[in-house]
Amino acid sequence: MFQAGTAVFTLASLLGGLAPNESLLISARILQGVGAALAAPSALALITTTFPAGKPRNTAMGVYAAMGGLGATVGLLLGGVLTDVLDWRWVFFINIPIGLAVLFGTKTLVEAERHPGHLDIPGVITGTGGLIALVYAITRGGEHGWTDSLTLTSFAAAAALLIGFLFLQARTADAMMPLRLFKDHSRWGSYATMLFIGAGMFATFYFLTLYMQLLGYSPVKTGCAYLPFSAGMGLAAAVSSKTAAHVAPRLIAGPGLLVAAAGMFWFAALEPDSSYAAHLMPAMFVTALGLGMSFVPLTLGAVSGVTHQDAGIASALLNTAQQIGGALGLAVLSTISTSAANNKLPEAASTLYQGLATKDFPLVAKAGEALTHGYSLAILGAGAMFLAGLAVTALAINACKQQHAESPAVAHMG
């Protein structure tokens, strides 16, 4: 599955780079999503089934979390360089040699146990359809109003599909999302917390990138500006992977989320001309430290104590929680940002482009102030997401320290 996902993602990258029009470009992006959805949970499951609980798995999870933070930042930096120096299509083409190298490296992987079963097609349709309807309803509500007929219809469809999904999961032998995984408080707490982290983190990247473009940063400069995030994430992930052997996960993840929220509230004091060195860089580093502290214990909480048979779905649910959180968080916080900016200056984004086109610099400054106000409120909302994750961590995650190297099939977190 990991090989198949990597191959699909690599092929989709080639198609995206060659796309002659918008429709084919979007189609290639969808195919990339399919490949990533196949590969990402499999990668985490391979760690779970390869490394026994305790120090070996803690170290592997620390490397996994650090590479996630490093990869995101390097991707932003490399994307900026390729766009400036070559062409935007190389943002896709660069994935091809990386994908081929990963496929070559998979020859060293060992096959895990196989469990015969059937694909839960009704679960796929109702679960995916419900989430799509929910994200669309939130996005449309922000653009057309919350009493818009299609917005209300989409919310109703999302509710019906997601309720139907849970009903099917409770009665299907080979369920896509076995409800038995949620019997462990620490596991479902990890999933819920990761959803809130995804909601806050993805939106933060989005709004900070828009803000830096407002300041006139080039793509390369924007990528370089995210390097402190990578440093903070890698440092904290390395420390938390070692600490997990001696301290209960919530005593690491909880303070980490508090630190991350503090970084977000620091960010929220943005001004149209905020200094990078005095404001953006330290706030970014603090936020990354907090998130890096949280990722390893939450990942351990999600996959520890599961059988080999459930390792893949337990990993997939963690990735899914983060991605769903990102989609929902971006939809909600974008709505907040746009509404706040437009309340300060109607059609603030369009006004900015109009001012730039006509070289009306007072109008540009006014639009920039309105947009910055919207970004600040959205980032404040992202900080609130981290605090919500902190509350879930404190109430639900009751796992013990990850000290003893037990068999993954019998390891238990509390």
Write the pLDDT tens digit of every residue in 316-355: 787 778 878 887 888 888 888 888 888 888 888 888 888 7
Q: Choose the weakest-confidence range: 75-84, 95-104, 152-161, 269-278.
A: 75-84
Which position has the higher pLDDT, 62 or 294? 294
> Which band of pLDDT confidence, cut at 50, 70 and 90, is reported for residue 116?
low
- Mapped onto helix, strand or coil, the DSSP state of residue 361 is helix
Mean pLDDT of 207-229: 83
- 257 sits in which H/E element: helix 250-267
Phi-psi region of 388 (alpha: psi -120 to 50; beta: other; left: phi over 0): alpha
Whether pLDDT at 40 is above 70 = yes
Instruction: Give the residue from 234, 278, 236 showing the smallest Cα distance to 255.
Output: 236
What is the reported pLDDT for 413?
37
- Rounded distance, CA 291 to CA 277, Å? 21
pLDDT of 278 higher than 50: yes
CA 20 from centre of chain = 29
CB 222 within 8 A of CB 284: no
Report the Cα–Cα distance between both ends of the chain, in Å, rounded. Answer: 31
Which residues, 6+ apart, have CB-to-CB distance to 296 below 8 Å? 58, 61, 62, 65, 237, 240, 241, 244, 252
More confident residue, 26 or 365: 26
What pLDDT band is residue 68 in, cutting at 50, 70 and 90? low
Q: Which residue has the higher pLDDT, 6 or 323?
A: 6
What's the mean pLDDT in 107-135? 78
Which distant-in-sequence residues (6+ apart) come within 8 Å of 263 by Cβ? Answer: 283, 284, 285, 286, 287, 288, 289, 290, 383
Q: How sure is the predictor about 364, in pLDDT bands with cuts at 50, 70 and 90?
A: confident
Among residues 77, 25, 37, the alpha carbon closest in space to that of 230 is found at: 77
pLDDT for 161 beyond 90: yes
Q: Residue 412: its pLDDT value, please?
A: 37
Q: Give the CA distances from residue 148 to residues 37, 145, 153, 221, 333, in Å, rounded to whole numbers and listed in that order.
A: 33, 6, 9, 41, 19
Check pLDDT > 70 for residue 389: yes
Per-residue pLDDT at 405: 40
